[in-house]
Amino acid sequence: MEPAFTQKVDNSEPQGGGCCLCRMTWKRFFALLGLVFSVLILWQIVSSPMVVTVTGTGEVAVPATNATVTTTVSVNSDTAQNAIGAVTTRSQIIIDLLKKSGIPEENISQSQITSYPAGLVTTGATGYQASLQVVAKTPHVSTVGDLVANLYASGATLVQQPVLSVENQKDLETKATDEALKDAKSQIGKIALKNMKLLRKVVSLYEQTSANTSTTTSKADTVTGAQNQLAAQNGVFKITKAVSVSYKLW
């Protein structure tokens, strides 16, 4: 009878297997914990942005293209009818002068005549006073001083200070706004860089514009005067635009 051979097979798990599994579990735990902290930090950043408000300004120097002159004509007389007739005649002389100075008729307007007892204006005065206003818009800004002098010589009672204005107001305001926004973006860019904020979003914007009229002008600088004959002749005034912009930074 031939001898039988047997071989013992060891099916036991290698030593240390439990510890390896334990180590893998701890790695996953710490990885998950780190992910949770990262999400919390990211949520905190997203939900609590830095809010900054900056004010940008933009200016456009423009030549005055028109001057509006308001002339008051006033006449005293013994009766209301005579006062009205006299003020009508004198106002027509004023209007004829304005036309001769090169002002188109459509740019000349006249108010209604008002008549009242002279005693209401000056204590003790007798008779009646009649008055009206003639308003003219002239493109001859550089000679408006001479026009005012001629109006007084033609019988004007009072000539108010001419008001200078500019055409194409919307285009000029748009240009000034662009300059103001560019200034605001420059400011917020510096603030974001200083605070290491890479993302930004505009949340509000408020605009404010200066008047597009003036009673004074300044002499145009050399470059502006050389490029624009009207600016060199009539002088310039500034239209200013200010924008207040609020940003959220992340």
What is the percent of the chain where pLDDT is above 70? 81
Q: Where in the chain is the domain with CATH 3.30.70.2970?
A: 66-164
pLDDT greater than 80 at residue 111: yes
Residue 120 or residue 158, greater confidence: 158
State the DSSP string of 153-175: HTT-SEEPPPEEE-S-HHHHHHH
Q: Where in the chain is the domain with CATH 3.30.110.170?
A: 49-63+168-249
State the DSSP string of 65-86: -EEEEEEEEEEEESSHHHHHHH
CATH for the stretch 49-63+168-249: 3.30.110.170
pLDDT greater than 70 at residue 44: no
What is the band of 26 on the pLDDT scale with cuts at 50, 70, 90? confident
pLDDT at residue number 171: 85
pLDDT for 3-12, tens place per residue?
555 555 555 5
Q: Average of pLDDT values for 145-165?
A: 94
What is the overall mean pLDDT for the chain? 83
> What is the spatial distance between Cα 191 and Cα 189, in angstroms, rounded to a whole number?
5
Residues paired with 129 in a beta bridge:
76, 116
CATH for the stretch 66-164: 3.30.70.2970
pLDDT at residue number 158: 96
Is the pTM higher than 0.75? The answer reads no
Q: Average of pLDDT values for 176-194?
A: 94
> What is the spatial distance between Cα 238 and Cα 61, in angstroms, rounded to a whole number?
4
Lowest mean pLDDT across 5-19, 25-39, 176-190, 203-217: 5-19
pLDDT for 119-150, tens place per residue?
887 787 889 999 999 999 999 988 899 999 99
What is the percent of the chain where pLDDT is above 90? 49
pLDDT for 207-250, tens place per residue?
988 777 777 777 766 646 555 666 667 778 888 899 999 999 88
pLDDT at residue number 197: 85
pLDDT at residue number 237: 80
Could you write out the three-class secondary structure of 179-213? HHHHHHHHHHHHHHHHCCCCCEEEEEEEEEECCCE
